[in-house]
Amino acid sequence: MSDDGDLWESIEHLQDWLARTQPDRPPQETLLLRMLKLSEEVGEVAEAVIGATGQNPRKGVSHTWDDVRSELCDVIITAAVALRTLSPDAQEIFTTHLARVTARSHP
């Protein structure tokens, strides 16, 4: 992807694809399920970190740091799709919020 617009174009495509392929549900239920999906993806990051560090003696080293990076990307994508599901102007909301957070880091 060459710029932020491409990212949000992809997020729009994913959100539309999910809307077309998922069972019909009330909008509120769809939104709640998108939020729950985010929790699932965060859990997969934790599982990958535990696996990459060999913290489960039964499984040993079962993941790589590449797996962790991939799972983190899934979290970002899933969060962006959830934001887009909540609001059609997700790109503007995110850009504005990121600018505020960035400004706070430069006292």
* Dist. CA 62–CA 50, nearest whole Å: 8
The single-letter DSSP state of residue 22 is: S
Burial of 67 (0-12, 13-18, 19+ CB in 10 A): middle
| Structural domain spans, the chain | 27-105
For residue range 28-81, what is the model confidence (pLDDT) as tens digits? 999 999 999 999 999 999 999 999 999 999 999 999 999 999 999 999 999 999
* Structure confidence at residue 107 (pLDDT): 74
What pTM was computed for the model? 0.89
Judge contact between 72 and 56, C-beta under 8 A: no
